[in-house]
């Protein structure tokens, strides 16, 4: 791995002064949000987030998650940066960050619930990001109460791998392997990302109909729809309830390696150029 101290130091300081809340949408109100205000170099608000630690062993990933501000930190522009570092002192040889919200929300019966984040990626070139796997997603709170995965339900608002300018949105459900959601792949869609800069990633849970089969989960990047799953497609009310009618919590993380992206190679660079930076996470209802 090639290390460029001057470039890394510069990237650490570059965080455009985006100190913003979630945008206003006609017909919607903000129920909860974190816009990551705080002093530069601080940890995220511990009242809002659990910082997960340890080598979790999921998906054959390499990273060990830490609570160090080297891996998860507020920047002066009121954002949070999740930064992977090559680190021979931890299991897997990489450290990174994973934030799970203490806040839990349930998509509202009879209305539309919106879950959204504004995200950008570090500026390392794509050929320097093999094995880097950032994500903004939600898990069913049932997982915290003894229900296993994927029966707890999972809704991935955004994943991208290896620096590719493709965003993936996916649901995971039912049983593994196979089942209704074809685990371990899930039911997914994708969209091209214009660049590594700021973009808005949103999932709408639509429960306006009186018939659960007509309910939907819909994915958007910058307001453009790129994926949708309906109750009718799932075709099992209990499984659909886990995805669209039950409590969920937010997760922000940068994984390294694993079955899907593959492991880093000799060209992979760590640090701020491979980070995920988040301006806000917000929950809306209509």
Q: 149-196, pLDDT tens digit by residue? A: 999 999 999 999 999 999 999 999 999 999 999 999 999 999 999 999
Q: Which residues 6+ apart lie within 8 Å of 119 measured at CB?
A: 134, 136, 158, 198, 199, 200, 201, 276, 277, 278, 279
pLDDT band at 59 (very low <50, low <70, confident <90, very high): very high
**Which pLDDT score, from 0 to 100, does residue 76 have?**
80
Run of H or E residues at 94? strand 94-96
Quote the CA–CA distance of 237 and 60 in Å, as a whole number: 32
**Which pLDDT score, from 0 to 100, does residue 11 have?**
37
The per-residue pLDDT for range 127-149, each reduced to its tens digit, is: 999 999 999 999 999 999 999 99
229 pLDDT higher than 70: yes
Q: If you ran DSSP here, which 8-state letter would residue 246 be given?
A: S
Tell me how far CA of residue 19 lies from CA of 39, 74, 109, 169, 282, in angstroms: 12, 11, 32, 27, 14
Across 92-105, b (16+ Cβ under 10 Å) vs e yields bbbbbbbbbbebbb
Run of H or E residues at 140? strand 132-140
Quote the CA–CA distance of 186 and 148 in Å, as a whole number: 16
* 29-37+104-285 to CATH, choices 3.20.20.30, 2.60.120.200, 4.10.220.20, 3.30.450.40: 2.60.120.200
Rounded to two decimals, the pTM is: 0.93
Quote the CA–CA distance of 3 and 12 in Å, as a whole number: 14
């Amino acid at each position: 791995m090639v290390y460029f101290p001057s470039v890394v130091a510069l990237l650490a300081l570059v965080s455009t002064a985006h100190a913003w809340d979630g945008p206003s949408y006609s017909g919607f109100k903000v129920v909860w949000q974190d816009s990551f205000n705080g002093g530069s170099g601080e940890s995220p608000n511990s009242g809002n987030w659990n910082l997960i630690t340890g080598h979790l062993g999921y998906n054959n990933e390499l990273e060990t998650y830490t609570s160090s501000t080297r891996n998860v930190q507020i920047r002066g522009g009121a954002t949070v940066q999740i930064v992977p570092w090559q680190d021979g002192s931890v299991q897997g040889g990489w450290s990174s960050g994973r934030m799970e919200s203490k806040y839990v929300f349930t998509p509202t019966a009879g209305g539309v619930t919106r879950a959204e984040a504004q995200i950008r990626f570090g500026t390392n070139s794509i050929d320097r990001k093999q094995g880097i796997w950032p994500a903004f997603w939600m898990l069913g709170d049932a997982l915290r109460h003894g229900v296993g995965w994927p029966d707890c339900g999972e809704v991935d608002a955004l994943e991208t791998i290896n620096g590719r300018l493709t965003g993936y949105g996916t649901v995971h459900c039912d049983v593994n392997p196979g089942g209704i959601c074809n685990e371990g792949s899930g039911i997914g869609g994708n969209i091209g990302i214009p660049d590594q800069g700021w973009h808005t990633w949103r999932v709408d849970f639509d429960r306006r109909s009186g018939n659960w089969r007509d309910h939907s989960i819909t994915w958007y990047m910058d307001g453009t729809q790129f994926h949708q799953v309906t109750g009718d497609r799932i075709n099992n009310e209990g499984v659909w309830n886990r995805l669209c009618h039950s409590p969920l919590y937010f997760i922000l993380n940068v994984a390294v390696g694993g079955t899907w992206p593959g492991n880093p190679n000799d060209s992979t660079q760590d640090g701020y150029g491979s980070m995920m930076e988040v301006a806000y996470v917000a929950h809306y209802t209509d």
